[in-house]
Structures are given as structure tokens and as C-alpha cells.
Structure 1
Amino acid sequence: MSPTDPTAPLTVLLGNHPHTRPLKDGTIPVEGVDCRYPESSPLPPAFARMVRYLAYDICELPMATYLQALDAGIPVTLLPAVLVGSTHHRSLTRLPQGPRIAPGDLVGRRVGVRSYGQTTGLWVRGWLQEEYGVRSSDVTWVTTEDIHVAHYVNPSYVERSRAERVADLLHAHEVCAAVLGPKAIGGQGAGLVPLVDDAEAAGLAWTERHATIPANHLLVVRDDVLRTRPDAVLAFYRALRQAIADTAGERDDSPAGRAVATGWSTSLTSCLDIAGRYALEQNLIGGPVDVAAIEKKTHFLDA
């Protein structure tokens, strides 16, 4: 069956989060729609499959990947949902036994990051410029993986390493600092320390200043599916909204807990606006992001 057939299952790629579990285990059904939930472990290769091959009908997608896909004209539409988010001042790390360096000391130095298009890196480079005056081009970014959007060409100040993990770059002294995502901080980043003194307070100050929380993972739908099966997309969105509401007690009051949400809001539009500005400053995209146009495409979901 064609994915645009009204009786075809929807293929939905979601990470394993408390708020997606009720959908994936069938506790919360999607009314009138058969949804299939393939697994991808690790998750990032699925993001590349989505933006390169449109492999899924609906897909969890990182903020930076979405902005690059939008800039490249890839036919996907943002659904108003934040699946993962948090502050990222603690994400810029160093070896505890190494020289004590501050974020402002990174000009002219080498910093490890999984990919130049990694969303955590987008947010880290954003606050580096905003708070310390360190532009992305002031640093050599050493990566361990390719970017998700295939035809994007990294800037000249990005290098590719043969190392398998970002933390390995630090331990091999190939870089002086490393950007690690939320899961990596508790894994390969165990024992590393933030460059920012009192990183949690600095992250909270960022959220108060901007009245939003940095979103890492959003949700997109293929344009052809949205166009031909809007009722199915609406049914899925409503089920996700219920799942997020029903699992609210499993999230704390930290930024990561409060970031998870559905619906167009001033927080989400501000988040997209700031991320778009950061992405443009960092040469991840070639032009400004029209947040109002993004919202207009799916305003009916919250009607």
C-alpha cells in the first residue's frame, strides 16, 4: 500500500522516552490509525535516514537537523512537540586533571563534537557567542560523525577525526574541550567537568533571559502524508499530547522535565527563533528562519 493510502499504517520513528512509551506499547492508541513504531538503536542513524530518504511518515528529529532540512527544502513539516530538551552550559566539558580553561579561552583552540550539525553543539556555540563573544569560526571543531543532511558541506573550521567517540578526543589530547549531549554526559563523559562554573545556574539564567528552554528533539511529518492524510496526523498528534500529559508525573521540574510539551506557544516559537538565529550565525543554514510560516502549516492541530 502507498503511505498516502488512507488505510495504510503510519510508520512513526520515536525514541524510547517515558512520554512515547504509551504510544509504542499500545496503552494509548491512535484513534482510527494503525501506527507502526520501528526501533533504531542508536537513534541518530534514523535521523539521517529521514532527511536523506524520507524513510518514515512521522519522525523524531533534532532541532539542528530540522533547521538544515528546512533550509535545504526537504519536504517535511514540523509538528508542535518537544520530545527532548534541556539547558547546555554543562555540555561543554574538559578533563578534570587538565588545564583549567574558561569558555572565553577557546578562541584559536580545538573542541570535539560528535557532528557540527549536532543540536547540543548548536546550543553550546550559541551561548558561547552570546555570553563570551566566541564565534563558531574562532574555534576548530573536531568531529567524529558526518552531518545528517547529506549535501551540507562543513565550514573550513570543521575537521573530521578518526576517533569513534568525542570523549576519546579529549583523552588523546586532540582537543582541549568537548561538547557532549545529555546521554553522553552520563556515559562516555563520566568524570569530565564543565568549563562553566556553576553550569546549572548559568543554564537557568539563559532560560530566564530567553523565556524558553532549548529543544533538542522535535517531531516532523512528511509533507505528502500531511497533505493527503491530515486526519491521521491529527489523530497521532492528539495521542502524543495525551501521552505527554499522562506521564507528567514522571518528569521533574528541571529544564529537561519542563521542556517536554505539545502545542504552539510563545516558548516554542521563541525557541525556534533563537535556534534559527544561532544556526545562521554558525553557517549551519543559509538564510533566516520564518517561524510564523512554520507555525501556519500546522496551526490546525491546536484548534
Structure 2
Amino acid sequence: MPLTVLLGDYPHTRPLKEGTVAVDGAECRYPESSPLPPAFARMVRDLAYDICELPMATYLQARDAGIPVTLLPAVLVGSTHHRSLTRLPESPPIGPADLVGRRVGVRAYGQTTGLWVRGWLREEYGVDASDVTWVTTEDVHVAPYVNPSYVVRSGAERVADLLRSHEVDAAVLGPKALGGQGAGLVPLVADAESAGLAWTKRHGTVPANHLLVVRDDVLRDSPDAVRAFYRALEQAIADTTGERADPPAGRAVAAGWSASLRACLEIAGRYALEQHLISRPVDVAAIEKETAFLGT
């Protein structure tokens, strides 16, 4: 049976979808989902695909909930997120430390951009997740998860609408949303780019937004096909280095285990535990051991 592989549209995935990088020994089909987030929910709720791109926070929550998927060590999307915490340009110029006791909009409490933003808020400004009321427009992808008491649901369709209706004081927007619904909004961090780069230097990694997983039954029944796909993805990533965005986003995209990926998973796991997105610590060594079949 062909592998059903759900991937976003990036320079490093197009060679696979277009067939210019072959998957030797396996047939792959690439369904499309626009926008991508509904596909993430279908994967962790219904195991809808054999291999699927998955946000970092969704992967950590899925693993915590015992959903039968295994990480394939690849980062498909990543960047810094100090610019992701925004406000209206005409609103009072509050800073991150001023968010204690305020309301902040976010697509879902389990959104990965929110995970990274809340992480640096605590690290750099002493603002815990529970110090803020998080106002969401969507549910988390992993169905068994229950939001903490400091998370409330809005009837708004888009996060930027929460700002413009003055329902929140600030909003978290992912990379794509910043250039779309978030056009004209300004970051709460005065020099967001420099702050983000300082974070990467301090931690030795770039925050990963989207990883890759395979269903456990597919891995058990068709390990050679999974290996063939992964090798082709490695090749596609290597072949498109010059086509990706400038650092740090371009540098985040990578295949294979590295000190950067290990650090990224460790930090994201710590942030997720602090924010009550998961119930127990993340064992990165165990995750890496599960991928030994790849020979990486």
C-alpha cells in the first residue's frame, strides 16, 4: 500500500510532492490540507495519515496522551517568536512584564507558537502562564486534553479580531498570521529580532514549530517504506538549503539527530510541563532511541 504523507508546502517538501526527489522502494501519496491545522487534529484524533507533519506542542501532548505515533527526527518549520507577541499600534505601549493579570489572545492554548512565547515570557520576564488569562479561538488538537482554568474560549474567529474588538490586551500570532491577519500589529518586545537571536544563542537551538511523525502501526508493518521516505526527505532538505528563508528560520529546517534538535525537544518539553500542557517530563533520550531503526 502507498504511504499517505501529509506535508505543508515548502521548498524542502516540494521535491517530494513533485517527484524530483524519488522515494526509492516506496510509493507515496501527498494529500493537501489548506489550512494545515485541521489536518494536525485529524492525525492525533483519527490517525488519518501514515506520516504527518505535526506541531511541536501537538507532538508532545500526543506522546503524553499515549497516542501511537513515533517522531521522525526532522524539523520542517521553525523560527524565533519574540515578535509573535503583539498589540495594536494605537494601544498603550505595554511590555511583556505588564501582562500579569491581563488577557492575551492565542489560537489555541496548545498552539506551538504560544508554547514558545509563554516559555520566554517566564524565562525573561518572570510571567508564568497562570499569571495571564489566555483567550482562545480554537480547541487544542489532542482531544483528551483539558485546558487549565486560566484559559477561556472566545466566539471570535481570528486571534487578531480579539485585539481589534479590545477583548484582549495582546495577542500571540504564528509566523504566517503575522503577515496576514496580523498586518499592522506591533510586537511588545522593543527589539524582537535581537531578543529572539539572543534566545537562540543562549540555548544553542532554534525553536521548532513543526516536526514529523509516523503512525506506530505503519512503522511496524512497513519499516523499509518509512526509511525510504525519510531518506528522500533528508535529500530534499539538503538539496534546497539555498531556497529557504534567512536564519534563524532557514537554519531551523534540518533532518537527523543533532545537539540542536535534542536541546529543542528538551526545552520545549520543559516549557510544556511548566505550562501544564503535559503531565510528565519529556525523555528525549527515549524519543531518540525509538528512531534507531533509521540508523541515524
Using structure 1 for the length normalisation, give the TM-score.
Answer: 0.97
Determine the C-alpha separation between the residues in 2 that align with 1:78 and 1:144. 28
Pick from 191, 204, 207: which aligns with 1:214? 207
The answer to whether the 8 A contact 1:263-1:302 is kept is no
Determine the C-alpha separation between the residues in 2 that align with 1:102 and 1:251. 32
Determine the C-alpha separation between the residues in 1 that align with 2:228 and 2:27. 11
Q: What corresponds to 1:287 in structure 2?
A: 280
Determine the C-alpha separation between the residues in 2 that align with 1:226 and 1:23. 20
Pick from 244, 255, 268: which aligns with 2:248? 255
Determine the C-alpha separation between the residues in 2 that align with 1:241 and 1:116. 32
Q: What corresponds to 1:93 in structure 2?
A: 86
Report how many aligned residue pairs link the two structures: 296
Determine the C-alpha separation between the residues in 2 that align with 1:153 and 1:231. 37
**Consecutive aligned runs of 4 or more in structure 1 exceeding 6 Å deviation:** none
2:114 matched to 1:114? no
Local SS of the residue matching 1:168: helix
Local SS of the residue matching 1:206: helix
- Structure 1 residues 223-246: Cα deviation after superposition (integer angstroms, max 9, x where no partner): 111112111111000000000111
Identity across the alignment (%)? 82
Q: What corresponds to 2:128 in structure 1?
A: 135
Cα displacement (A) at 1:183:
0.1
Q: What corresponds to 2:27 in structure 1?
A: 34
Q: What corresponds to 1:243 in structure 2?
A: 236
Task: Give the letter aligned to residue 66 of structure 1.
Answer: Y
RMSD: 0.7
Q: Which runs of 5+ in 1 are unaligned?
A: 1-7
Q: Which runs of 5+ in 2 are unaligned?
A: none
Structure 1 residues 1-303: aligned runs within 5 Å: 8-303=1-296
Task: Give the letter aligned to residue 24 of structure 1.
Answer: K
Local SS of the residue matching 1:38: coil
Cα displacement (A) at 1:292:
0.2
Task: Give the letter aligned to residue 285 of structure 1.
Answer: I
Task: Give the letter aligned to residue 131 of structure 1.
Answer: E
The answer to whether the 8 A contact 1:62-1:216 is kept is yes
